[in-house]
Structure formats: C-alpha cells, structure tokens
Structure 1
Amino acid sequence: MNQDNQFEEVEDRGSAEEEWEPKPRMVFDSLDNLFQYYRSYGNRMGFEVIIRSSRKGDDGEVTNATLACSCTRKSSSNTRNAFKLYPVTKIDCKAWVGAAVCGNRKWQICSVGLNHNHELSSPTKTRYFRSNRGIQPYVKRRLKVNDRVGIRPNKNFNSMLVEAGGPENLTFLQKDYRNYIEKVRRLRLGAGDAYAIQKYFLKMQKDNANFFYMMDLDEEGRLQNIIWVDARSRVAFKEFGDVVTFDTTYLTNKYDMPFAAFVGVDYHGHSILLGCGLISHEDTETFVWLFESWLACMWNCAPNAIITDQDKTMQNAIEIVFPGTWHR
C-alpha cells in the first residue's frame, strides 16, 4: 500500500513538471507574461532565465524574442593567467524558448529547447538568481534614511535581516544592498562639488604643468570618477614603474567613495605613490576608465607587472587595458 502511494506521488510530481514545460503554440498576452511564465518554470527546474535576443518591427515594437538559460552562449577569455580562480559560467546551454507576435498581438511560442548541458541548481536556491532579487521601494527609503543618519552598512543590513526572520525571507542580498547604497551616495556628489574639485585641480595644474587629472561626469554634471597624479609621481614612474600595486580602500568622509591608489617601490624598499583617484563603483567599466586614464598619464607606458587583490572586476579591466602586463 505504501509502495503504491509512493509510486502515485512520484507519478503525480512528474505529471506536474510536464504541465509546466513550455510547448510550441502556447499563447501569452504579452512578452512580459511569457517571461514571467518561463522564469517561474526556471525557478522550479533550477536555472535562471534571460532574454537572449529580440527583434523589432518597422513600428519599433518587439516582434520576436528568444528566452534562454543564463548559461547560454560560450565565454571566451584571452588571459594568459593559468591560475584563474573564477569558473566560466556561460557554457553554451541549449535550453531556450523562441516566440513571436501573432496576428492578434499576442505572443506565441514557436520553438522550444529543454535540454541543459550543466547541473541545475536546487529550487531552494533560485532566490539568489539576479532576476529574482530586488529591493522594494519602501525598503529603499528606510535604507537611505538609516545611511544618512550614520548607521553603518553592516548594522543597517543586519537589522533588516533580523526583522525579516532570516536571509531566506529577504528579496535581496548584502551585495545588492551595498550597490544600492553606493549609488545613493554617488548622487550626493552634486555638480557644485565637481566644480569645486575641478577648480582646485586647475590651480594645481597652473602651479605645475605636469600635474595630471581627469574627471568623469554623468549626464547631469555630477562627478562619477576622478584621477589625479602630481608631477613627482609621474617622474617616479619612469624610474620605479616596472611593478605597480593597485588597491581600493574607503575614506571616512560623507561620500564613502572608494579611494584607489597606484603604488610603486623605490630602490630603498619605500612605497611611492604613483597616482590615485576616487571612483563611484567597483565594476569593470569603472576600472577600465581608471586604468586607461592612468595609462594616458604615464605616456601609455604600461608596467611590466601589476599586483592586486583577487577581485574579478579588476582582473577583467587589467586584461582589457594592460594585455601585455603580468597580473598577480
């Protein structure tokens, strides 16, 4: 009797999964509804869903789209580092759904691929997928207020964690919280602050023509990133720029923007500052801007070797800007 019940339970569960599977000719009211359905299916199965491609018609409206597992397509890297610490996540997975707009403006699934070439995640861990994470507006307001009154990031996040009853009940991770707070703090650096900094650097450049600085502003004139190198550092690089260390730390000011420093070592083993900057975010795009600006300052002479921490975004930027430099 127990064996029969167990068999019936397994059979029912298998039937339920088949009912959830996407099939050709399934119709949805909109592309968003199709995406929500396929994402729910992905959560049940244990994979994250992305919009791999789309195509617009003459009227500018999307008429075709391909939804796929986030492991679709192949990743390539030109790194020479044989000791990569980060696995390749895109492995050309063939699980996908192709859909198009029908005559009645509804969306219909045209083709389906169900096979994955990788191990699927546990459904209990799908909440960690980027597409499933988000900070609700009322939570954003509270986090912003707490940050403005000086509550430290760890305490701010931990209070939300305790109130929610555990990490499994939060819709975002600590990384999402930190990224949001960094964005909020960046917006506090208004156009007036950028003007004041530029005015000061112009004075420095007037006193010494070899003083170098570069500013990166957003569309509203707010300072996002800045780098400056004085004349002494530029001269020192010619002598001691073979090996450079790069690191980011945080200043104790109201902006809490990451402070980036390029450092070399002289003949006596003393550290020499070879340039520094304030950056808005620690992502690959920002580091590429910073490295390219610093390289231009140093007459496009890249160091022979650069030492950083094990930050993936730094590694990506170094491969782009310093392809011939040994990275450790």
Structure 2
Amino acid sequence: ASDESMFEYLNVVSKMFDSEAEGYEFYNKYALEKGFSVRKSYVEWDGSNKYIILRKIVCSRQGFSEEKHMKRKMEDRKRRPRSLTRVGCNAKLVIMRQEETGRWFVKDFIDEHSHPLAPRDLSCLLRSHRRISDEQKADIADMEKCGIRKYRIMDILCFQYGGFDKVGCIKRDIYNFCHANKQETISAGDANTVIMHMMVRRERDVDFFFKYLVDEHGHLKGLFWADSQSRLDYEAFGDVIVFDSTYRTNKYNLPFVPFVGLNHHRSTVIFGCGIISHETSQAYEWMLRTFSDCMAQKHPISVITDGDLAMQRAIRVVWPDSNHRLCIWHIQQNIVRHLHDDDVKEEFRSFIYDTSSIEEHEIEWIYFLQRNKVTSEESWLHQMYQMRKLWCAPYLEGRCFLGLSSNQRSESLNFVLHTHLEGKMSLFEMLEHYERCLASRRINEALHDVEALQSVPFTEENASPLEKHAATVFTPSVFKMVLWSIDAVSKCQIREILDGSEDSTYVVSKQERMDKKFGVRIEEQGGLLHRVSCSCRKLECAGTPCSHIFYILGILKQTILPSCCVPTRRTMNAKCAYAPTRKNQMSDYSVSLQRYRELRNCSHAASFKACHSDEDYHRLIMLLQAQHHGKQSSFEQADSKESTNAQHNNTLGLAR
C-alpha cells in the first residue's frame, strides 16, 4: 500500500465518535468521496438489550442474493427480477461503544472493494448518499399542492441547486416521498383527515363554517364548508347562485358541488363547497339547508342548476321563493345528444330564446310535439316540455339572473379544478384543489380591484355625459355591459308620453320592432329625479340600466345616472362594509412552517445581495453554516399541539 493509503487507513481507525449515528455519517461521507454506497448491517446489544454496543456498516454491494431467488424459474415470477447488486464486497467499518465513556471507536476497517467504484460526479446518485432534507420536503410539498408534476419538481430543484449532483436526491425519491406523505396524511382515514383539518381551521378562524353528516356505520354521507371570506362574499353577491353536481372529482365517485356566483367584476366568486354520497332529494335538501345555516338563512333570489330532478325537488322544498332556471349550457349539450335532425334542433333552440307571450309559446309547443310525433312520456323532448317553465324565455322574463343563462361560471370553475386532476384523487387532495382554485379566484378579484381603483375606462371625447359618468361609477367589467345599452340608444324612439301627478311614463320602441313597446317611468320629488324604472326590467334582472332608460335620461338632459340606476353590487362599493381576506389560509396550520417561509424569503433576498461581493458572500455563508450545523433544526421540535394533527407534520415531512 502507498504511504497515502496507509495514512488514510490510520486516520480512519483512530477516529472516535460521540454516537453510533455520527459513526455512520462519517463512513457515509467517506464512501461518497470514494465512490460507493453503504448500509447498516450486523448489530450487537448489551446484556439488558437497552443499548447497542457494536455496529457493522458495510458496502452496499456486500453479500450475495439469496439462493432461493436465484433458482426460481422465470415463469414462476410475477415480475422481472431486479438487476444483481450484491457481489460479495468485503469493505466495512465496525464501530464499538466504550462502556466507561459511552464513546465509539473503530474496531475494524477494511477498505478493499471487489467492484469498480463510481466517479465523484456519479457517487452522489448512490442510495446512501441520496436524502431529501426537511427544507426540501417542505418545498416539494408546497410545489405538489400547487399542481406541479413530480418530474417538473425535480427540474426546478436541479435548476435551484445548480445541477443534479447538488440536489441530494433523484426523481424516484421525490415520487416515493410524495406517495409516502400522502399515505401518512390520510392514515387516520381520508374523511377523518378532512374533518380534522377543518376542525383545526375553525379553531384558527371562528367564522370558518363546516358541517358533515355520517350514516349509522360512520361513513361520510355529506360535507359542506365555507371560509369566512366566502360567507362575506355571499352577503355581497349572493343574489344569484350557480351550482352543478355533474362532476365527480375523487376516487369515491362522490358528487362535488361548488356553489358559485358573480362578483362586481363579473368574474366567478365562490360561496362554498359540498360533497354528497348520493344524488337524492334528501341529500340535496340537507346540503341546501346547511348552506342556508351557513349564510344566516339568506336565500338566493335566483338559482341556476343542471337538469337533476332530485336537485329541482330540493330547491322547491328548501328555497320555495327563489327563482330557478336550468342551465342553458347543459340543455345545449343534451340537444346534441338526443336530437339528430338539424331542423328539429333549431326549432327546439327557438324555445330557449324566443320572448313571445306564454300563450303563443304553449301553442307552438303543441304543434312542435305533434309534428315530431312525441307521445312517449319517457322521451327527452316530453321531459323537457314538462320542465319548460324552468328554461323557456317567456316563463323567466323579468326575473333576476344578472344576465346569466348557463352554468358557464360553474363550468369555468370546474375547468380549473380539472387541471392536473386525477381519477384516484383522495378527498383531502380534492380539498387542496378547491382551495387552490379559491386562491386563484381571489387573486383575480384583487387584480380587477386594482385596475378599477387606478383607472377609468376609455370614453370618446364626444361621448355623452351619462356615458362618462357610467365609466366612473361602474366597475370596468360592468361598464362594458353598460356600453351595449348606450350603443343601442340610437335605435330608440319615443312613441308617446303619459303624464301623471308625480310621475311621467315615456313609451319607447326600437326602430326594428316598433310593435313592441316599453314604458320608462320617471318619478320626481321636489323637482328632482327620484326613481327611474323600465317595463323591460333589465335593471332589476341584469343589474344594469337598459337602452330605454339611457335614451329617456338623455332627452331629459341628465348628466349623471340617478343612484337607483347604479346597483351597489355593480360598483367598487359592493364590499365596502367589510375588509376582504384575500390570502388563502389553508396551509397556515404550522407555526414552524410559517417561520420557515419568512426566513426562506428573507434569506433569498440576502443571498442575492451578498453574492455580488466576496466579503458579503463569505460573511453570510459563515453565518448560515454556523446556524445549520450549530443546533437541531427547529422543524424537528414540533410542539405538542401540532403533533396531534398528522397533517401538520406529515404533509411537509417536517419534524422527522
């Protein structure tokens, strides 16, 4: 042996360790430099079996595969056998505990290998040198919650650490960690984990609402939840609700029912979410009653749903005074599915949008059914005829639906939920998906708020004073709708004026349909405009003034819209009664995790600044290394309250 090898041998055998773990770490670091992997092998205990007194650590290629595995025939195997890694390597480190001092010394050391050693740039990929650190586990868990695929997580880590050799793990380790983490998260039972998580959230947020229902066997039958911001959003925007149970986004095939609406920017706002085990009237009644309990018994003015009969019955029972209409989007889908003649399709679609009188509609229906020989009560056309009051235009005219005729709001929500959605998703994973979607909706609202506060929609120089005023009072998204009415003013024409003692009614028609008349009623008090209404009821139904109102106000030389024409829910004052909570708080269940995030963000900023100077770089790296090696990670010291919740520690891999 060379002098260098002998010096190295003497250096190893003279080592002393404070613990068995320290001895293992030393040999593992030695193996990393040399190019082999290690594993723990033989162990001896003291006479009372309380303490380990001897530990043998061997090269991972020590020994041979068991003979029974080698002799099995290929046809008897369920899977192809693994590659052979054991070649009888004799390299080892044996350490023993001194009884007097409790320290460990090297009893035996062999450094001869019967196989090629890996080069330094590859040895980091050997098994004993791969480890996901606590901070990496926290970051991986966060990235997975954000819907980032595992192979992408590996790409991000390689980029952040400056190469695969500095990450400390490989893609397979990330997959294994995520799988094990998921198993530990729901080890108490998937439904129990979700309920336990919600209990913790209610402790943190007294206004967080959730309620669940179990059967006699303890199985989950129903679940509903809404955080404090969703409840405030319902107070402001809960006049029209859209919900749809046609999505089963979990491995139990349970209907997932998000309750959504429209905010002051005409974008989706989420009021709550429910899960039921069976699509029965009783199940939907329970969910609607629970929703009403959550929302202080404030019933919606109108509801838009899919065509589920059980849901229709539940709405009639629980919300008898609410307007109910079927989703046009679902009807359009069913038209394609059930009708195959293009002429029949077009004639059927006319019933959706034609605003002629109810009497005329009824006559047209009879002719339509007769022409198409619809006699069976089981046919789809007959069933739609039975439900015509829930979707035909004449029956729904004058009712408030805010311009919504379909579940497209629910569709867009579920589109987001279906991004990275897997059929085997657990309830807890589905909850994380929902929360992620909720956070994105709130960020979207915040961006719209900033735009509305910092800018005013563009209007032409020669625009009317009413148009310019509308641009300042309505949110930009709503103003785009208002422009449609303003542009249609040029087509309006006065037919007659009916004067009363305190009010006047202006009869208006559109030039293309002079036979159709609308009455714009103007009420004054003390010579000032007090109230404006129109018989078309667009203001009440869609929440924006119609072209008839703009036309008459223009004739009356009004320069600003009266307050009755500017519904608060269409302005930036819609939520002025309470400060919004825009931040998603689902992941804020661990104090140590919150501290970690703050420190990570701060250290990122400090590191970027320090990297531009040799002096700052060396000072900061010494400080960080001293902190890292100086004492046990605070993540390993989980407080007792957090440790009672499996989710607190297991999801992040902290406190391991």
Separation (CA, whole Å) in 1 of partners of 2:191 and 2:74? 41
Please list the CA deviations of residues 216-263 of structure 1 after superposition, one character each: whole Å capped at 9, or x if unmatched: xxxxxxxxxxxxxxxxxxxxxxxxxxxxxxxxxx9534349xxxxxxx
1:30 is aligned to 2:19: yes
Structure 2 residue identity aligned to 1:181: C
Partner in structure 2 of residue 58 of structure 1: 47
1:153 is aligned to 2:150: yes
Separation (CA, whole Å) in 2 of partners of 1:124 and 1:81? 36
Residue pair 2:122, 2:165 contacting (<8 A) in 1 also: no
> Which structure is higher in strand share?
1
Structure 2 residue identity aligned to 1:36: E
Q: How does 1:303-318 map to 2 (within 5 A)?
A: none
Separation (CA, whole Å) in 2 of partners of 1:255 and 1:19? 57
**Aligned to 1:80, which of 73, 83, 95?**
73
Partner in structure 2 of residue 68 of structure 1: 58
Q: How does 1:83-94 map to 2 (within 5 A)?
A: 86-94=82-90
Separation (CA, whole Å) in 2 of partners of 1:19 and 1:255? 57
**Aligned to 1:191, which of 186, 189, 192?**
189
Closer, same or farther: CA 109–21 of 1 in aligned 2, 3 Å = same
Closer, same or farther: CA 143–114 of 1 in aligned 2, 3 Å = closer
Separation (CA, whole Å) in 2 of partners of 1:15 and 1:44? 19
Separation (CA, whole Å) in 2 of partners of 1:158 and 1:176? 13
Residue pair 2:32, 2:123 contacting (<8 A) in 1 also: yes
Please list the CA deviations of residues 85-112 of structure 1 after superposition, one character each: whole Å capped at 9, or x if unmatched: 6431112211112222223222122222
Closer, same or farther: CA 255–165 of 1 in aligned 2, 3 Å = farther
Structure 2 residue identity aligned to 1:30: S
**Aligned to 1:100, which of 86, 96, 111?**
96
Closer, same or farther: CA 173–100 of 1 in aligned 2, 3 Å = same
1:20 is aligned to 2:8: yes
**Aligned to 1:41, which of 30, 35, 47?**
30
Residue pair 1:46, 1:121 contacting (<8 A) in 2 also: yes
Separation (CA, whole Å) in 2 of partners of 1:166 and 1:140? 18
Residue pair 2:62, 2:86 contacting (<8 A) in 1 also: yes
How far off is 1:16 after superposition? Answer: 4.5
Partner in structure 1 of residue 159 of structure 2: 162
**Aligned to 1:111, which of 93, 108, 112?**
108
Closer, same or farther: CA 170–15 of 1 in aligned 2, 3 Å = farther
**Could you say what secondary structure the match of 2:123 adopts?**
helix
RMSD: 3.4
Partner in structure 1 of residue 140 of structure 2: 143
Which structure 2 residue ranges, 5 or more long, are not aligned? 194-213, 220-420, 428-656
Separation (CA, whole Å) in 2 of partners of 1:164 and 1:138? 13
Separation (CA, whole Å) in 1 of partners of 2:88 and 2:36? 14
How far off is 1:75 after superposition? Answer: 0.7
Closer, same or farther: CA 169–44 of 1 in aligned 2, 3 Å = closer
Residue pair 2:125, 2:165 contacting (<8 A) in 1 also: no
Structure 2 residue identity aligned to 1:161: C
Separation (CA, whole Å) in 1 of partners of 2:425 and 2:192? 15
**Could you say what secondary structure the match of 2:169 adopts?**
coil
Q: How does 1:269-280 map to 2 (within 5 A)?
A: none
Separation (CA, whole Å) in 1 of partners of 2:184 and 2:169? 22
Closer, same or farther: CA 170–58 of 1 in aligned 2, 3 Å = same
How far off is 1:174 after superposition? Answer: 0.7
Moved more, 93-102 or 14-23: 14-23
Structure 1 residue identity aligned to 2:84: V
Closer, same or farther: CA 149–50 of 1 in aligned 2, 3 Å = same
Separation (CA, whole Å) in 2 of partners of 1:158 and 1:26? 39
How far off is 1:45 after superposition? Answer: 1.8
Please list the CA deviations of residues 33-59 of structure 1 after superposition, one character each: whole Å capped at 9, or x if unmatched: 222222222222211122211111134
Structure 1 residue identity aligned to 2:29: S
Separation (CA, whole Å) in 1 of partners of 2:81 and 2:424? 33
Separation (CA, whole Å) in 2 of partners of 1:64 and 1:188? 36
Separation (CA, whole Å) in 2 of partners of 1:159 and 1:169? 12
Residue pair 1:97, 1:109 contacting (<8 A) in 2 also: yes
Residue pair 1:25, 1:110 contacting (<8 A) in 2 also: no
Closer, same or farther: CA 117–156 of 1 in aligned 2, 3 Å = closer
Structure 2 residue identity aligned to 1:119: P
Residue pair 1:21, 1:41 contacting (<8 A) in 2 also: no
What is the identity percentage for the equivalent residue pairs of Structure 1 and Structure 2? Answer: 15
Moved more, 110-119 or 53-62: 110-119
Closer, same or farther: CA 184–32 of 1 in aligned 2, 3 Å = closer
Please list the CA deviations of residues 138-179 of structure 1 after superposition, one character each: whole Å capped at 9, or x if unmatched: 221222122223222233332222222221221111111111
Separation (CA, whole Å) in 2 of partners of 1:138 and 1:98? 32
| Matched residue count | 197
Partner in structure 2 of residue 234 of structure 1: none
**Aligned to 2:423, which of 230, 252, 257?**
252
Separation (CA, whole Å) in 2 of partners of 1:17 and 1:132? 23
Structure 1 residue identity aligned to 2:189: A
Closer, same or farther: CA 53–191 of 1 in aligned 2, 3 Å = same
Separation (CA, whole Å) in 2 of partners of 1:137 and 1:26? 29
Partner in structure 2 of residue 231 of structure 1: none
Separation (CA, whole Å) in 2 of partners of 1:141 and 1:158? 16
**Could you say what secondary structure the match of 1:63 adopts?**
strand
Residue pair 2:190, 2:426 contacting (<8 A) in 1 also: no
Closer, same or farther: CA 65–192 of 1 in aligned 2, 3 Å = closer
**Could you say what secondary structure the match of 1:145 adopts?**
helix
